[in-house]
Structure 1
Amino acid sequence: MIILASLNSACSAPEKSYATPGSLCGKSISSKFLDPFMPPGKKVSVVSRHEAEGIRRCRIYVDGKEVLSASSEWLRKDASLLKVAAMPFNNVDPGDTVTRDGKYIYSKTGAIGEVTCLVPPTSSERVFASIRISGGKPDAEALKNLIREYSKKLDNSDHCS
């Protein structure tokens, strides 16, 4: 009886009936980097906003619920990866995992990455990328891969100016 019940529930598991986006905040990103965070659902939508100078943000929604938020932000030149991690709402803490190269910090629900800008926004600023998982599936290793890919796409891009 228990086996039949579990087989029945496995057959009725929710499905993903939408295509995973192939970009994040206007930057082409292979869907393989976003797939791990995308829950079952029927409809996906992406909303980009540039509400304040120096901040670009986009959010991915599945069936109207926020799944993932990504942003790039100009911060003071003395900002460090750990200082950015300590900022509220990033879903990252200074004690979370830092990559060997020191360019990224991540947890299972948030990640911060340094963006390389040959010509920074101003001489007193630098750019950081962030990703926050809010309603999707938490996954630290996948988030590390996504923040690396997203940050690299932002290197020396229009986000630097």
Structure 2
Amino acid sequence: MNSLRPYAGIRLAIAVTSSVALLVTLSGCSEHKAARHYALPHSMCGIPVDSNRLAPFMPSGRKLTVKYDTSDEWASFCEISIDSRHVVQTEQMWMTGGHDTSYFVGGQANSKLNHQAEDGRFIFSGWEGFGKTRHCRSKKLLNSELFTAFQMHSSDHQDADAMKQLITEFTTAVEKTDTCRKGKPFS
């Protein structure tokens, strides 16, 4: 009998360890689901977004705040904050000179943009994406073209496929606006 006792202790230790691990996992899951006390946005300042694609990037918190900025006629910014923490920003910007998306990105990328689609029309990473609209020109702004950006600022979640969908769908939605169709300046 004494030779079996050491194995009983090991079995008990394994059972306790497994139970504790399961409890921690389950409490973490329920805490994460309960931690988001705000409704996910369905648009970024009037431009539709897929909230299901956006959800994994969004942090826990209580209060969602939206800020729309059109301080000049060349650009507009839509910023979403959760509990005063800046989490996501979209941008629309008119640019002159017949440039491509990589020129538009310039120094504003916060991550390594190691993916592209449609021959460089869209450039993206797991956290952010940049695009160039089609047929959006503003004669009022020196025949400029309209570019877009979708950037996550406080997420540990990375998903290049989701970001590709977010930036392409956002850009397509921008192409359907009066800003694009009529070449309207922002302010």
Gaps of 5+ in 2: 1-15
Q: What does the per-residue CA deviation read over 1:49-94, in whole Å, with 9 as the maximum and x for residues that have no partner?
A: 1112210001111121111110000112322112123x1223355x
Alignment partner of 2:172 out of 142, 152, 156:
152
Q: 1:49, 1:58 within 8 Å by CA — same for their partners in 2?
A: yes
Q: 1:91, 1:111 within 8 Å by CA — same for their partners in 2?
A: no
Give the root-mean-square deviation of aligned CA atoms: 2.1
When normalised by structure 2's length, the TM-score is: 0.75
Specify the alignment match of 1:9 in structure 2. Answer: 24
Specify the alignment match of 1:28 in structure 2. Answer: 48
Specify the alignment match of 2:10 in structure 1. Answer: none
SS at match of 1:117: strand
Specify the alignment match of 1:105 in structure 2. Answer: 123
* Paired positions, count: 159
Give me the whole-angstrom Cα distance separating, in 2, the residues matched to 1:63 and 1:4.
35
Alignment partner of 2:114 out of 73, 80, 96:
96
Give me the whole-angstrom Cα distance separating, in 2, the residues matched to 1:65 and 1:138.
19
- Relative distance call for 1:101 and 1:89 in structure 2 (3 A) is closer
Is residue 2:146 matched to residue 1:131?
no
SS at match of 1:60: strand
Deviation at 1:138, TM superposition (A): 3.0
Residue pairs, 1:14-93, within 5 angstroms: 14=32, 15-85=35-105, 87-91=106-110
Give me the whole-angstrom Cα distance separating, in 1, the residues matched to 2:43 and 2:135.
20
Larger helix percent: 2
- Relative distance call for 1:22 and 1:75 in structure 2 (3 A) is same
SS at match of 1:78: coil
Give me the whole-angstrom Cα distance separating, in 2, the residues matched to 1:30 and 1:150.
9
> Rg bigger for which structure?
2
Give me the whole-angstrom Cα distance separating, in 1, the residues matched to 2:93 and 2:136.
16
Q: 2:101, 2:131 within 8 Å by CA — same for their partners in 1?
A: yes
Q: What does the per-residue CA deviation read over 1:2-27, in whole Å, with 9 as the maximum and x for residues that have no partner?
A: 43443343314332121101111221
When normalised by structure 1's length, the TM-score is: 0.85
Q: Using the aligned pairs only, state the percent identity.
A: 24
